Amino acid sequence: MTAGNNGASKPEDDDPFGYLYADGQAAGAQPPGQGGYGYPGPAAQPGVPRTSYNQVRAVGERQYGQQQVPPQPGYGYPPQQAYGQQPAPQYHQPNPQYAAPETYPGGAPTAHRPAQDGGGSGGRGGPNTKALLIAAVAVVAVVLIGIGAALLSGNDGDRDKKNEAASSGGSGGEAKESDKAKEPEKKPEETPALELPKQDAATLTLGGSTTVESSVDGAQGVNGTYVTGFNNVGSSVTWKANMPTEGSYRLTVRYAIPAVDANATLTVNGKPNTQPIGLKNFINSSDTNLEKNWQTTWAPVDLKKGENEIKISCEDGNQCDVVLDWLEVTQK
């Protein structure tokens, strides 16, 4: 900014309050409103710029532009308004208390410089919000497109893997984990039950006075047959039983008695048991009719794998008034 021609006096020569002191009054300092302010200083020379940017002037003396405003009454205060009178609005009025150096003759131009339009809101060069909004929408669109493409490619990859697995038929003998999970767990193989022998007494080898009859109802043999005539010493039935394994078993016998306990001798593989086999009246029947007294009993036997000979006989000391229906070997 170029300063105007304000005279040749120096700023340090100015003392706005010089008129208050004796030495200032002696030097010619004058109070405000009399054409001077402070020490008068050296006279200004035409064409010689003053070394100070601003010269202290009386209040109200400096004005904007070239318009001169008369000094206000009082010292820096506006005139009193009449009671009830509204003061005139002072919007955009120049301040009479201040004037910039460029307002003096030869100062910088005071033309108004319009604000540049930066394309932003408010016409003050702010950011272009419309452009920013468009850029943000574009970024979001790109992100969404990328996510959609990733999902589509992932689905295509899974579909290709499934098709490949289906076409290869599980090559290499390897099953998928999901297929393994669907397969039922294999239970440990159960040992099949042994098929143990059972035979009608009428089909056994008979000895002594034993015979086959079918006159008594309730017999379970073929055609209702059973063995009778067993109550004589030396009578017997012999069974050739073929066992799958060696072990201890039960020999179960179905019989009928005339409501009186009976017993017989049991021989296994040529060795008689120390205890006779009991053919007792376990149902406590009092009816002597044989068909009312069918029942079962059992005795422990040790058998070997393969063929075993089991013999039931009427020996001395046995009570043998009994008829025999069938014999069976069962698990103990």
* C-alpha closest to that of 265 among 294, 241, 293, 230: 230
Residue 134 DSSP SS3: helix
Q: Is 219 exposed, middle or buried (0-12, 13-18, 19+ CB in 10 A)?
A: buried
State the Cα–Cα distance between residues 132 and 319, nearest whole angstrom: 119
pLDDT on residue 146? 83
pLDDT (mean) for 27-49: 59
Q: Which residue has the higher pLDDT, 152 or 179?
A: 152
Residue 113, pLDDT above cutoff 60? no
Start-to-end C-alpha separation, the chain: 128
Mean pLDDT (the chain) is 74
Residue 81, pLDDT above cutoff 70? no
Q: pTM for the complete prediction?
A: 0.45
pLDDT band for 46, please (50, 70, 90 cuts): low
Instruction: Encode pLDDT of 196-230 as tens digits.
Output: 899 999 999 999 999 999 999 999 999 999 999 99
Residue 14's DSSP bridge partners are: none
Of 62-66, 122-126, 138-142, where does the model show the most confidence? 138-142
Q: Is 141 exposed, middle or buried (0-12, 13-18, 19+ CB in 10 A)?
A: exposed
Instruction: Encode pLDDT of 260-285 as tens digits.
Output: 999 999 999 999 988 899 999 999 99
pLDDT on residue 141? 86
pLDDT band for 59, please (50, 70, 90 cuts): low
pLDDT on residue 191? 55
Residue 98, pLDDT above cutoff 80? no
Q: Which residues contact 258 (CB under 8 A, 6 or more apart)?
A: 288, 289, 290, 293, 321
Q: Which residues contact 315 (CB under 8 A, 6 or more apart)?
A: 233, 264, 265
pLDDT on residue 318? 96
pLDDT on residue 309? 97
Locate tokens 């030097």: which residue? Answer: 27
Q: Which pair of tokens denotes residue 319? A: 């009570």
pLDDT on residue 324? 97
pLDDT (mean) for 1-15: 53
* Contact indicator for 197, 331 with CB cutoff of 8 Å: no
Give the containing element (helix H, strand E) for 163.
helix 129-168
Residue 292, pLDDT above cutoff 70? yes
pLDDT band for 132, please (50, 70, 90 cuts): confident
Q: Which pair of tokens denotes residue 29? A: 């300092």
Pairing outcome for strands 247-256 and 294-303: antiparallel
Instruction: Encode pLDDT of 159-187 as tens digits.
Output: 656 555 555 554 444 445 555 556 666 66
State the Cα–Cα distance between residues 210 and 264, nearest whole angstrom: 14
Instruction: Encode pLDDT of 225-257 as tens digits.
Output: 999 999 999 999 999 999 999 999 999 999 999
Q: Is 280 exposed, middle or buried (0-12, 13-18, 19+ CB in 10 A)?
A: middle
pLDDT on residue 32? 67
Distances (CA, A) of 315 to 28, 231, 272: 177, 9, 11
State the Cα–Cα distance between residues 25 and 36, nearest whole angstrom: 12
pLDDT on residue 122? 46
* C-alpha closest to that of 31 among 75, 70, 67, 72: 75
* C-alpha closest to that of 314 among 216, 234, 200: 234
pLDDT on residue 147? 87
Distances (CA, A) of 33 to 11, 16, 71, 151: 20, 12, 8, 88
